[in-house]
Structure 1
């Protein structure tokens, strides 16, 4: 029987339990009727589409030390184990980092509001963790991001296809995220898929207004594998969709560096290990 990811209504009295159960079973949870402003998301998409088309993006080329700024297609990531780079460009935003002034206030507001909401989602995860799992947490999950300056807001642009793409390249190769949770408003175009336990690929509901949340490697590490960091990808469009850009806005929730994830890793040691694997540092 095919696995189907269904959106959980945030207003439902049982929303927290249903959401955490979805995370446990698939690595992903989808929320509707949540408090993140969709008008704000729509405006960010429009403003950053214009920026990627016409903006002074090369004035903000990424800083290798701070990892903020603009990452052009030739410097974008390759998924772990992949030789071919993803077909994308993106901007890394931290409130303390660089940003075009005309876009800063909007991103800063979104970053703060979504980070606060994410704290609630982490408290849901902790509430519905079995006792033997929550005993592993060195501190409450929501407190791991309190005051953290490591959480990253990435504005992603997957450009239209030109026919010159490298053989085997896709918009985002199969990968897992590094962080605790990733919070992602539905993109303006479909394409996100998650790998099910049977190896099949499931389309993640992309209705505009949905909020998509997935588990990262750090939560998997902290929970001793109880919450799985699930493989996902963004597939290439077909037909007329090839002529369309895709904008995406993931917030990667990172603990502050000293947080102890497990006997093996702090948040900082884990992050550095993964960034080296990705070839980013």
Structure 2
């Protein structure tokens, strides 16, 4: 495998070969790129258009959908709120979160608040409910291939992510002609969740930190998803599948005058999932790093405090 270039894998490949190729890419980079995922291009195009329309609304109108005390779990998070763990400057971005709606009385309702929806642009709710469901489907397929690579039943993750606390984030990085204080669009960080499925990395800026300590550009072909391992899967696999540091650097030259948009889908475990390290990922050379079990929601809340979204 070329250690400088992420492979582009097809979700239409035979399950066994896709499982092998995903596992190799994730072990090497913590990332992979996936095409032939079945997302409707018209749905994705509509989502991009609505994302741009929403973030173009007046600041006062957008802030009506910022909900205190929820850590940005739903609705709008204003520009400059989030900060990478250990960073000194806040990220140069604003975002909107769409989550999973649960029926009334669901036992996980306390950890998953209902969605809020803006009055405009028209069609926002219907579009992003559909896209959320589609990314949920694609993510489950990818996890089934990861399960096989880990020598688990291909459906092992199904109950673990049923009613999972997954979040679709609509991201806007405004133009940055004069960033100050070392601020960048997204500081170097790792994701919290199981896996992330990212739309919109065609616009330059996303970089991952290689095992050799070199920043590598992530440049997917048009329409492909960038998929990366999050800290929850790293923990579950005792770091057999590593969560990789990545960032979104600031553009240079004429591109600094342009906005950047992206849509990551953070695929989460169900909130009450108990972390127990997979036995096949524990050896004499790789002892269990996490002998104390906590729930997925305990872990999430701890991390949200670290990145400034919760007090």
Please report the TM-score for the alignment, with normalisation by the length of structure 2: 0.82
Are 2:16 and 1:33 aligned?
A: no
CA distance in 1, matches of 2:225, 2:197: 7
CA contact (8 A) 1:188 1:247 kept: no
Are 2:79 and 1:73 aligned?
A: yes
CA contact (8 A) 1:84 1:166 kept: no
CA distance in 1, matches of 2:68, 2:132: 20
Q: Which residue of 1 aligns with 2:10?
A: 9
Secondary structure (helix, strand or coil) at the match of 2:52 reads: helix
> For each residue in 1:250-280, what CA deviation from the matched residue of structure 2 results, as whole angstroms up to 9, or x when unmatched?
1111111111123432101111111121122
Deviation, 1:17, is 2.0
Q: How does 1:191-206 map to 2 (within 5 A)?
A: 191-206=205-220
Q: Which runs of 5+ in 1 are unaligned?
A: none
CA distance in 1, matches of 2:303, 2:173: 23
Q: Which runs of 5+ in 2 are unaligned?
A: 102-113, 277-291
> For each residue in 1:188-216, what CA deviation from the matched residue of structure 2 results, as whole angstroms up to 9, or x when unmatched?
51111111000001111232211111000
Structure of greater relative contact order (alpha carbons < 8 Å, 6+ residues apart): 1
CA distance in 1, matches of 2:117, 2:68: 12
> For each residue in 1:45-77, what CA deviation from the matched residue of structure 2 results, as whole angstroms up to 9, or x when unmatched?
1111111112631221134236311111132x1
Q: Which residue of 2 aligns with 1:59?
A: 64
Root mean square deviation, CA, Å = 1.9
Are 2:108 and 1:107 aligned?
A: no
CA distance in 2, matches of 1:162, 1:237: 9
> For each residue in 1:97-142, what CA deviation from the matched residue of structure 2 results, as whole angstroms up to 9, or x when unmatched?
1012531110000001110221111111110014xxx59xxx9223
CA distance in 2, matches of 1:63, 1:42: 31
CA contact (8 A) 1:19 1:30 kept: no
CA contact (8 A) 1:261 1:267 kept: yes
Q: Which moved more, 1:53-62 or 1:202-211?
A: 53-62
1:89 to 65, 90, 94: 94
Q: In structure 2, do the counterparts of structure 1 residues 46 and 63 end up closer, same or farther at CA, with 3 Å as the change threshold? A: same
Query: When the two structures are aligned, how many residues end up with a matched partner?
Result: 272
CA distance in 1, matches of 2:254, 2:127: 31
CA distance in 1, matches of 2:19, 2:34: 10
